[in-house]
Structure 1
Amino acid sequence: MIVVVGAGITGLAIGHELLESGEDFIILEASDRVGGVVQSGKVGEHVLDWGPQRGRLTPDFRERVTKFGLDDELLVAETNLGLLIYHDGGLRRVPFSIPEMFTTDALSLRGAIRVLLEPITAGPRDNERVDAYFRRKVGSEAYDTLVGPFFGGLYGSNPADMDVEVALAPILSRAGVRRSLLATLIKRGRISAAPAFSFQDGMERLPQAMAEALGDRVRLGAPVELISATRSGWVATVGDTGERIKAEQIVMATPALAAATLLEHQAPRASATIRALNHNPIAIVHVTADLDADAMGFQVAFAESHRALRGVTFQHCLFNRHRLFSAFLGGSLNPAIVDADDALLANTATKEFEDTTGAPAEAISVWRTQMPAWDLSWRALKDLRMPVGLHVAGNWHTRAGLPGRFAEAKSVTASVLGLSTQSPDEQL
């Protein structure tokens, strides 16, 4: 028996990998719903997402949509939607090719020419920070205006507090970048990505469909309170009832703090390492407005540091969700704003939305969450050691984003199956 703790995307993806392998397993979820941070709902006529706002419809993901019976619910954005940056008092087009660098008003001529010098710069240096790397590669103007806000926005972090080896090198490797960023762009002609996607009732439909396919292998309202070792494996103790479930191995597909708590007695050093990881507070304020903009959304340039608003997703343009926009506030650049009450957050979001877009807005939902910062505290994960038969997984452990969750599910399952084929003596 394999016990998976947590029915977020990662835990459910691990469940499907185990199902295909023929392993006996159960997924235990503390709450009364699946999906973890992937959460959707309706406010009035509007479908809102309070976690990830969209995914990328790569060929692999297109197959998953079909596998989980979601074809009829799929929403796919137009492929020609661009991105905007709020800089120097206006929304400006983000360039996705070398010619566009010289036609956009997001960069000066000097800034665009400096980007062209990137191929003669060296690759990453030992212990280099992400901001220093990008400034050295593309220049300070392109970094402050474009690269920094969009890369930092992935985590709600300041790239000055992020390590290249930990936070950036894996991304560059997957993109096929060796030394030069621009050489890859020249080869491809322009930066392109798979189209954005969601579902009619929001992104939560994905974990819901995944859980439906697993049936009674997913148990809700089953919080694991304690993990303990036995001579032959492990025991997971569930909730106030004290139910004890014997397991050969346990996978903790939970947020970092929950994993740290479960590991306190069995792996105190690992627990302390995980507990020390920083997370950035984020406020998501959904607003309605009359704004027609042919884009996926915008980020706010670092020069606009006085603003609490860091970015906006245009649901109206992406998925034809009438007049709906998702505003993001806080992060490491302004964490205190997230502690404000709902009224102040709503007022701040609507005021800054109007300041940046020119369109009056009305807030319809205020939500708070946290994002793994992937900052310098993540350096310690390189030395994370787990007891045999215990595994951790999640967006704090390896690559964030939906593709990362399915990729980690494969790697964790391979580790679990490798141990399952060994005798106890071999595992020692």
Structure 2
Amino acid sequence: MQITRSLFDEVMVPNYAPAKFIPVKGEGSRIWDQEGREYIDFAGGIAVTCLGHCHPVLVGALKDQADKLWHLSNVLTNEPALALAKVLVDNTFADKVYFANSGGESNEAALKLARRYAKNKYGEQKDQIIAFKQGFHGRTFFTVTVGGQPAYSDGFGPKPGAIEHAEFNNIDSLKALISDKTCAVMIEPMQGEGGVLPATPEFLQAVRELCDTHNALLIFDEVQTGVGRTGKLYGYMQYNVVPDILTTAKALGGGFPIGAMLTTDDIAKHLVPGTHGSTYGGNPLACAVALAAVNTVNTPEVLDGVMAKAQLFRDGLAKINEKYNVFADVRGQGLLIGAELTAQYSGKARDFMVAAADEGLMVLVAGASIVRFAPSLVIPDADIEAGLARFEQAIAKMVKA
């Protein structure tokens, strides 16, 4: 059977509009399509392939575990899951870990836990969840409603209730909504899909204080910022703020699907047997790969390297902007970077992404006017320089068009 891009349109549900080329091989920060054309990867599978493609440590972990045990269900526990949970507990604020298969599932678990905790401790009336406009927390009906982008949640019928949205980095907006009926505040320390927008330290500190005042749990969605992306193992470590619940996925498995919810003993005890579960969550195959990913990333060499490589990106983008003046702002933390387009190119981020692909470079968008970069945390400096050269070629053509 011949596999071509046109087959997608024949057999796949049309909720995606993938690029015209089909990658078939990846190594490090480069991929090759069916025609043998090479691309430099600044997209990282949307901040997932934290160690690039086919990293030998991850490949080795996968092959080793594949010969041992793949799946058990949660009627039984397994060694890789326990080893991964121990590493996460030892290296974060958390005491307990729950494993899922994705960021959306991890956030679903966090929200259900927050509601159950509040109900058990304070009563049925404490059920309000507050999140932030332009936030993104997944695609389940609960998480997409908590996410602050109505375009993703409208059109599916009645939404889950008792969910409100404040303005990101605006503490007065949160003050106007929060009360003793609030059971949780969910926030990304840096909004990813919403524009690669970091929270200010003052704002996060004030959010923490408001949660404490109203006995509300603070949930950090670190699906995109976690596992080294910001230059720390988790983004909360960049701030003097500790959440009550943290969710992680994407880079946690380095490309193999896995997610996790981390929390404290006092909160975790409210998910007693039968209250929540996952058939595949914590399976030995995923946990073995994730353990290798976390142990590889959580080293001074890799984490310090993130900051050095981020500076290369920023310096390179600044030089490009001196020539072409297409960016109004370049922001982010570590290797999650957003380049906001000027008014002249507003709404054309996808055009920039397509133009980059034509030059052999993969980038992302974050909304209609922001080009997003989320490369491997260990991308070679030479690949950064080569990729930025290709990006400049794409921009030159966009400017002339």
Task: Tell me the TM-score normalized by structure 1.
Answer: 0.28
Task: Tell me the TM-score normalized by structure 2.
Answer: 0.29
